[in-house]
């Protein structure tokens, strides 16, 4: 899968590492006074199931909005698949087609049906006439139906979004993102308000899609438990700073970094100091 990616995008083959997201000392703010994020360093490998955990107001949603280009850092650099996110950049705009983003509020079109909401994910593949007349090509409709059954919404295609339960709404939002044929999936606390059983069903759904499509999933969690259970890596955010990053394999912690630096980096810094 990774190799296919490389032949498709020859420019990437020159780069040996396979970092899909790289953030370097990223600062950002909504107003001029307070920073929502303060010097975030983050580097995410392709195909990772990455979790971001932290308290309310710590900056988790803000972090996701930086990854889909909806927000721009006031300082520092971000690269998504080696491209700087910017809505005015044609290359990134094209990239947005394959970044599935599920906001905390889900962002469904309430007065549209389940099927219509999901087909929105295929809009970048439609031409002007098709999208003006809502004339979705047959393969797209088949694809949507396939995804509908994968997320367990069969029989509810024609239901208006506002008539769905919380769990069903989340399934629609996931399906819309999958319809994009994404390479990155960003999901913001989509299971926080659900009961444990439904939350796990939805997490399984994403874990399954993640493996099947070789997605890089980046999910924000309120609940550290869920984060550790499902992710390969977990970053903990506190007051706009990354205070911890853990790599998990099964039950074991394979990598443990504190602050914005790995233990190795801390050692290196000490070494630099002593050399001076």
Partner 1 sequence: MTPKNNIIIGIIIALLVVASYNVDANPVDFVEGLPNLGVVLEEMVSVEPKYIPTALWAMFETIQMAFIGTTVGVAIALPLSMFAARNLNSKYVYAPIRALLAAIRTFPSILWAILFVIMVGLGPFAGVLAIIMYTIGFVAKLQYEAIETIDSDPMDAVSSIGVSKWQLIRYVVIPESASHLLSQMLYMFDYNVRQTSILGLVGAGGIGFYIINYIKFFEYGKAAIFMVVVLVAVLVIDWVSVKIRDKYIIKSQHGMEVTAKSK
Ligand X SMILES: Nc1ncnc2c1ncn2[C@@H]1O[C@H](COP(=O)(O)OP(=O)(O)OP(=O)(O)O)[C@@H](O)[C@H]1O
Binding stretches for Mg ion (CB under 5 A): 61, 104
State which of positions 217-276 bind partner 1 (CB under 8 A).
none
Per-residue x/- track, 128-147, partner 1 (CB under 8 A): x--xx-x-------------
Quick one: which segment of 20-28, 31-39, 104-112, 138-146 binds partner 1 (CB under 8 A)?
A: 104-112
Quick one: which segment of 51-59, 143-151, 156-164, 194-202 binds ligand X (CB under 6 A)?
A: 51-59
Q: How far is the CA of 185 from the CAs of 34, 55, 182, 209, 218, in angstroms? A: 28, 22, 7, 10, 6
CB 190 within 8 A of CB 174: yes
User: Looking up tokens 């032949």, which residue turns up?
Assistant: 7
Cβ proximity to ligand X: between 23 and 144 the closer is 23
CB of 70 vs ligand X, minimal distance in Å = 11
Cβ proximity to Mg ion: between 47 and 103 the closer is 103
State which of positions 159-218 bind partner 1 (CB under 8 A).
160-163, 166, 173, 180, 193
Residue 150 CB-density burial (10 A; 0-12 exposed, 13-18 middle, 19+ buried): middle
Tell me how crowded residue 276 is: count the other CB atoms within 10 A of its CB. 5
104 binds ligand X (CB under 6 A): yes
State the binding partner of 47 from Mg ion, ligand X, partner 1, none, CB within 5 to 8 A by kind: none
Cβ proximity to partner 1: between 33 and 128 the closer is 128
CB of 35 vs ligand X, minimal distance in Å = 9
User: Looking up tokens 């977990």, which residue turns up?
Assistant: 234
47 binds partner 1 (CB under 8 A): no
CB 66 within 8 A of CB 26: yes
Tokens of 82: 């080696």
Tell me how crowded residue 72 is: count the other CB atoms within 10 A of its CB. 13
CB 241 within 8 A of CB 39: yes
State which of positions 52-71 bind partner 1 (CB under 8 A).
68-70
60 binds ligand X (CB under 6 A): yes
Distance of CA 217 to the CA centre of its chain: 5
Residue 169's Cβ-side half-sphere holds a number of Cα atoms within 13 Å equal to 22
Provide Rg for the chain, Cα atoms: 19
N residues, the chain? 276
Residues that bind ligand X (CB under 6 A): 30, 36, 54, 56-62, 104, 222
Residues that bind partner 1 (CB under 8 A): 68-70, 93-97, 99, 101-103, 105-112, 116, 120-121, 123-124, 126, 128, 131-132, 134, 160-163, 166, 173, 180, 193
């Amino acid at each position: 899968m990774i190799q296919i990616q490389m032949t498709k995008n020859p420019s990437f083959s020159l780069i040996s590492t396979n970092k899909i997201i790289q953030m370097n000392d990223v600062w950002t703010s909504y107003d001029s006074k307070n920073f929502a994020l303060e010097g975030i360093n983050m580097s995410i490998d392709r195909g990772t199931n990455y979790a971001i955990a932290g308290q309310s107001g710590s900056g988790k949603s803000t972090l996701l909005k930086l990854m889909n280009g909806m927000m721009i850092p006031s300082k520092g650099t971000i690269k998504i698949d080696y491209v700087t996110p910017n809505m005015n950049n044609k290359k990134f705009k094209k990239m947005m087609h394959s970044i599935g983003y599920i906001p905390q509020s889900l962002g469904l079109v309430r007065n549209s049906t389940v099927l219509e909401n999901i087909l929105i994910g295929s809009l970048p593949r439609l031409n002007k006439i098709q999208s003006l007349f809502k004339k979705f090509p047959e393969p797209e409709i088949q694809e949507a139906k396939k995804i509908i059954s994968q997320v367990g919404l069969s029989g509810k295609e024609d239901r208006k979004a506002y008539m769905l339960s919380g769990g069903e709404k989340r399934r629609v939002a996931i399906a819309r993102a999958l319809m994009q044929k994404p390479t990155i999936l960003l999901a913001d606390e989509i299971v926080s308000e659900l009961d444990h059983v439904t939350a796990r069903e939805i997490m399984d759904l994403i874990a399954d899609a993640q493996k099947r499509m070789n997605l890089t999933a980046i999910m924000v969690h309120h609940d550290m438990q869920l984060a550790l259970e499902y992710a390969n890596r977990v970053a903990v955010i506190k007051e706009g700073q990354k205070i911890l990053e853990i790599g998990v394999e099964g039950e074991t912690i394979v990598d443990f970094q504190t602050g914005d630096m790995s233990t190795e980096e801390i050692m290196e810094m000490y070494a630099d100091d002593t050399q001076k």
